[in-house]
Structure 1
């Protein structure tokens, strides 16, 4: 069996080494020398940046390493003393430092930045990311070499045809594939994207519900309370969600559920400033990326939703929820104005008709 070797990223430096900004414990050097601080000898390097005489390195083990000049506190360790020996810097209270690979570091002249780009708003991409998170996998398949590949039973249930034997058929296909091909198969099932590997997609197309959109899948989960494993209590009403869906849609819950230290209970009393109508609107949008038709949009709802989007840190799509609400609100007002004009015209016509009738009588 061939084992794929994953080489670690290496970082080399050379040049002026004041305050050990090169991280190599040496004088100025004219040749590239590998930086090997013991603080991250077992980690992979995700990102790094160099300032005037200081350096920051982000590692795969959720570590931020810094060294060099610190006259203006540019290392972010709370003091202003130069750090000749690389130190681990305490990260700020980031929302999701377990996903440190999403962050980037930038060093300026005497300043530094830690940047977190927005999460993907593409539901297919989010599903594939979840597929790779083992802590949420609850069903296993064996590849041709006996390797175990794990998946999400809930997502498979709603992506495969509704037949009890579909998982068995999937296992039969996976048992003849390599680990790489198996991963591609699951990515195609989750995203319904045959372009990943058209040949493999042809083999699984009979068991996959290929005509169903991801949003329709989410709405079906929404209607099936048996699959919901997290409760949000608001006043005297309960709202049930699958944790997987909340992870995809809300950065607040992504941080809550994927955090090592946070409470992982299945119930939380949550934001009470939202009216039930606004919360129902958010609930439906979380699953479907659509606004519930029967809810009449008011300015109060728009104001509440704006607060709710920020509070729950909802991942936005294009167009985003707030824009959709504004458009629907404008259309409603326009339709109401048109209806009022029609009623006024009808009343005017009726009044004119009555006046004519009176004139004829006299």
Structure 2
């Protein structure tokens, strides 16, 4: 029952054998030894994709039965394939790290870990008592401390209390924390305004959690972070080459992305940000993208960067009537569009 489309760099690791290193249009991804004539109802839940997390050197496919397959860079031709047999709830991959959250939730300071998020070289933990912890590199202040005081840590350090959500990205050296009052805080790399702090805050590194004042109105549900740009729904900031705002300078506060491709009746179902590209899926089955495209990661058939939003032609989807159950996962320089079961029918128990 899997439907997975892949496009972008097919190398480090090489995920699809007998295909070129650059795949510039979406093609069907199949797991090794997957039989197209196999009875689709047989062990359906064990084969159904729940989540895909892909970074620079690794990609993890998580299934609804709590098992996972990880592909690691092994050689120029073949990846190392690892079966993970734990009861897994979520996986997250960065450039220099990865983390796996099991159904038991793991334990941090006698509290259950409810969520894990990867930055490029850091991992963030959210516990059941709404405490946010950071672990790993603090080179850019992405753990909320001065890098000279705390260059890195192998043990989780408390960043902030009363946190409802954490947002970072596979190639990001910065992080956003959202509290229960919908107040947004950020710290870390801010070289081209990717924290959205405004023109008055142009410091390269923000080494303490700072409140973001100019954020879009309405409830924040998701933020996606790239290397040098950030996206909140149809608002963006950061490097002009990647943020979709068609301006020849960095944007230092969140600004609305305007395009004829977005209409009032276009509901954004899902969006994802990779290293320098963004993909957006709408309720009328449009796939829209912008940003870096050196490896074909936008899936529009070429390798030219796109500074303004473009519509990407995708093959006919098997479950097009259930378009709201499709998700996007942008990697370092590749992309996945995949179908997963509706969240109202979980296989695993929630913590």
With the length of structure 1 as denominator, give the TM-score of the two structures. 0.30
Q: Which has the higher contact order (CA 8 A, sep 6+)?
A: 2
Structure with the higher strand share, 1 or 2: 2
Query: Where is the helix percentage greater, Structure 1 or Structure 2?
Result: 1
